[in-house]
Structure 1
Amino acid sequence: MSGHSKWHNIQAKKGKADAKRGKIFTKIGKELMVATKAGGPSPDINFKLRDVIAKAKTNNMPQDIITRAIKKATGDLSGVVYEEITYEGYGPSGIAVIVEVLTDNKNRSASNVRHAFTKHGGNLGASGCVSFMFTRKGQIVIEKNESLDEDELMMIALDAGAEDFESEDEVYIVTTGFEEFSTVREALEEKSIEFLEAEIKMIPDTYVTIDEEVSVHVQKMLDVLEEDDDVQNVWHNAEFPEGWEQ
């Protein structure tokens, strides 16, 4: 959509992540445990685990914390069992919202998520009510610098199977299909290219433009959801006003 800045949204989210590094490590640790339980502790054969480890490293997660999470999942260390749950609903002005949860208490999670929606002018919907408006894709964000040749970087990404390559502000954004994400990421890693971000996301097919008044309510709802310890990811299709400080 014209005027929509992917990098603006990524920047805002990254700033919050930097401010809450411990909470981010906890969330990624849970993802590591779930991926390990589902496919085993070897990233060589467990592609999901390999992707989560890559995400952990882009967030500067220490190797010992990564290893500890994997050991908890294999039973080498004591740990809890987490359940994956996805909630869908509508925020202020009808924006679509998807909330991905990893929890050891689904009743607590359901109550907290529902409260966040209703308190800030939204409503929780049935499964599938908004997910059709999104597509699961990989997104890799690379900071621009003098050592990177844009054309060469683009060819590496596209040759490896990327869907799109964009130059935006001070970053390059590589978008991949869900199935091609690991292949593209690894092709870039082989060239020693470092990422600001590399993960699977729910990308909205279209965005809903909201004004500053609605933005306040939307942001409060998103903040409450993202601060919940059970919530792993929050995806939405709101396009905030230009210059809006998230």
Structure 2
Amino acid sequence: MAGHSKWKNIQNRKNAQDSKRGRVFQKLAKEIYVAAKQGGPDPELNPSLRLVVEKSKTANMPNDNIKRAIDKAAGNQESENYEEIIYEGYGPGGTAVLVMCLTDNKNRTASNVRLAFNKHGGNLGETGCVSYMFDRKGYLVIEREELEIDEDEMLMHVLEAGGEDLETMEEVFEIYTDPESFIEVKSSLEKAGFRFVTAEITMIPQTTADLNEEQTDKMERMLDMLEDDDDIQGVHHNYENE
């Protein structure tokens, strides 16, 4: 992961996302619903549900919202079916983009994703065209403010917990894990007294792309358009916002 900081992208877009907290909760509720519907309503017996519940709690989603989404899945008798779809393509400047969706209308979602790409100088590609440029990883972020620990000590905690890698920034520690050991690493670090501002399994780019000012503007507008779509759960890319 050396040389790449996912937190830079999160941080630079955080203020905009804070104003969309209700939409974030709505998307998380959909993830919870699908996970509970597919694997059962008990997080202890359903690893997929446990992961999304952990993710929702880290995002400060109220427990009542989480419970309501699980209860809806457990008692739902309607044909509310969501399909998981991943779109791959190229953004401005040839950036690699993965768009993760949960939708009950594949045609609508495909049309909206294609429009966002085409409108901002990108284009959709075939399955597999950019996914090989990303690694699926557990990702944890700990704020360093008021945390009296240096990089060497933090690395020791990460390795003892089973983590794979640590990146140190001025404001945060970024921790990367194998996806299968994500919950174990997170729990171990929580027991050691650490708290997270981000905790998720995500896609990490192997390399990053440099964009000029015009391309950056197009990329930001494309990401805004995609993230505003209720069918789109996440957008992963190799553009690094400085």
Partner of 1:64: 64
**After alignment, is 148-157 or 15-24 more displaced?**
148-157
Answer yes or no: is 1:105 the counterpart of 2:102: no
Change (3 A) 1:138 1:2: closer
How far apart, CA to CA, are the structure 1 residues paired with 2:24 and 2:173? 23
Change (3 A) 1:87 1:165: same
**After alignment, is 50-59 or 60-69 more displaced?**
50-59
Partner of 2:73: 73
8 Å Cα contact 1:165-1:173 kept in structure 2: yes
Q: Which runs of 5+ in 2 are unaligned?
A: none
Partner of 2:229: 228
Deviation digits for residues 202-225 of structure 1 (CA, Å, limit 9, x no counterpart):
100111111111101111111100
Partner of 1:11: 11
**After alignment, is 197-206 or 75-84 more displaced?**
75-84
What is the total number of aligned residue pairs between the two structures?
241
How far apart, CA to CA, are the structure 2 residues paired with 1:77 and 1:15? 39
Answer yes or no: is 1:130 the counterpart of 2:130: yes
Q: Alignment partner of 2:84: what SS? A: strand
How far apart, CA to CA, are the structure 2 residues paired with 1:146 and 1:224? 36
User: Deviation of residue 78 (structure 1)?
Assistant: 6.2
TM-score (norm 1): 0.91
Answer yes or no: is 1:238 the counterpart of 2:239: yes
User: Deviation of residue 167 (structure 1)?
Assistant: 1.5
Say which structure, 1 or 2, has more relative contact order (CA 8 Å, 6+ apart): 2
8 Å Cα contact 1:113-1:225 kept in structure 2: yes
Partner of 1:34: 34
Partner of 1:45: 45
8 Å Cα contact 2:8-2:240 kept in structure 1: no
Q: Alignment partner of 2:180: what SS? A: coil
Deviation digits for residues 123-147 of structure 1 (CA, Å, limit 9, x no counterpart):
1111111100101111100111334
How far apart, CA to CA, are the structure 1 residues paired with 2:188 and 2:4? 28
Q: Which amino acid aligns with 2:112?
A: N
Partner of 1:205: 206
8 Å Cα contact 1:73-1:79 kept in structure 2: no
Partner of 1:156: 157
How far apart, CA to CA, are the structure 1 residues paired with 2:122 and 2:212? 16
User: Deviation of residue 110 (structure 1)?
Assistant: 0.5
Q: Which runs of 5+ in 1 are unaligned?
A: none
User: Deviation of residue 21 (structure 1)?
Assistant: 0.5
Q: Alignment partner of 2:128: what SS? A: coil
How far apart, CA to CA, are the structure 1 residues paired with 2:68 and 2:148? 35
Partner of 1:173: 174
TM-score (norm 2): 0.93
Q: How does 1:179-218 map to 2 (within 5 A)?
A: 179-218=180-219
8 Å Cα contact 1:138-1:178 kept in structure 2: yes
Q: Which amino acid aligns with 1:144?
A: R
CA RMSD of aligned residues (A): 1.9
